[in-house]
Amino acid sequence: MDCGTASLGALLAAAPLPSQRPRLLLFSPPPSTLSIQIRNRLYSMSLLRLRKARGMGRCEASLASNYTQTSEFADLDWENLGFGLVQTDYMYTTKCGPDGNFDKGGMVPFGPIEMNPASGVLNYGQGLFEGLKAYRKTDGSILLFRPMENAMRMQTGAERMCMPAPPVEQFVDAVKQTVLANKRWVPPTGKGSLYIRPLLVGSGAVLGLAPAPEYTFLIFASPVGNYFKEGLAPINLIVEDKFHRATPGGTGGVKTIGNYASVLMAQKIAKEKGYSDVLYLDAVEKKYLEEVSSCNIFVVKGNVISTPAIKGTILPGITRKSIIDVALSKGFQVEERLVSVDELLDADEVFCTGTAVVVSPVGSITYQGKRIEYAGKQGVGAVSRQLYTSLTSLQMGQVEDPMGWTVQLN
């Protein structure tokens, strides 16, 4: 199949029909050409250049300097946006062979991908993912939050998993392309965010246990609301002392896909009992806090905020890192160290952090049948509320960014 040059309208026609999109009620054609500037680089959006995929009879779209983009919002119920997949228009994809170098890559209509049954990710779990968000400001521009941190964390994880990773510049540029191509899915200001999911997987076929000969890096996105149905309201955790999320020397400190499948059983049991999620202890002494299924944990006592130290079994969360810096700037004392379950039960306040949840206050902890509740205004502690407000205001561009963490797409 030979590919020439096609307008975005042609690609839209090839994309899944509106009726197949969850909660999508209207799919309108794009208006006239619109220029979008990423900081000091100007992208005049008018055309998508198609190229033939290597060794396959299908087309992939490569983002050229020009393509058409719409500034309209997708027709969703933005007031009731939960945390679930809403299929958007495009995704980014690129491949890497044995030489370790990823090709230029580009945008393709969102949809299924081809995968060899013998691929490394399907047989041996050789895969990583990241998560970050884009927010819409009141002036219509879009902010990314610390995308370079995600790129560097993926590189660290890739080294542990014997995988090549895209360079930081390519990772960040691919995120920008994905957000701009799906701009109409970025929620209105204050209604949510566009959750961006980069994936790195061993897509090459391998039968014996070995690194895959080929890797695929792709990014898709979905508009989201609150991760926990409670929103900025207290969640209820149970401390898990039977199942463990990670062990020393394992992969708990990187964002590999297998880390998350292993928590599903304990999480399922907890939710059936009415808890929001599970808090894990260390696998050796079974008395030190590690993390929640997909969040880091913080314990507040007076003016001191303590969080488990990063020691190979805990994911170095980007929101965790950001909250530590924000807390220090507010005059709190922050300690990264071993935190015992006894300290948890004696805390003034407890909260979780993560890309999806941002900051989530903990209303109660249950440990070995004993339930401890934490007081606060409407169940939200003063420290949790202060740090949540400070970080989200920065992420959404409501205040100046003295940290230099946000990247603006105009």
β-sheet bridge partners, residue 380: 377
Q: Is 311 left (phi over 0), alpha (psi -120 to 50) or beta?
A: alpha
Cβ-contact 280, 240 below 8 angstroms? yes
Please, what's the b/e burial string for 15-35 (b: 16 or more CB within 10 A of its CB; e: otherwise)?
beeeeebebbeebeebeeebe
Distances (CA, A) of 145 to 20, 37, 189, 398: 31, 17, 15, 13
DSSP structure class, residue 71: -
Phi, psi of 394, deg, nearest 5: -70, -45
The SS3 of residue 74 is coil
Shortest CA distance to 151 belongs to which of 128, 135, 133, 167? 167
β-sheet bridge partners, residue 95: 216
Catalytic residue IDs: 255
What is the C-alpha to C-alpha distance for residues 43 and 147, in angstroms, rounded to an integer? Answer: 19
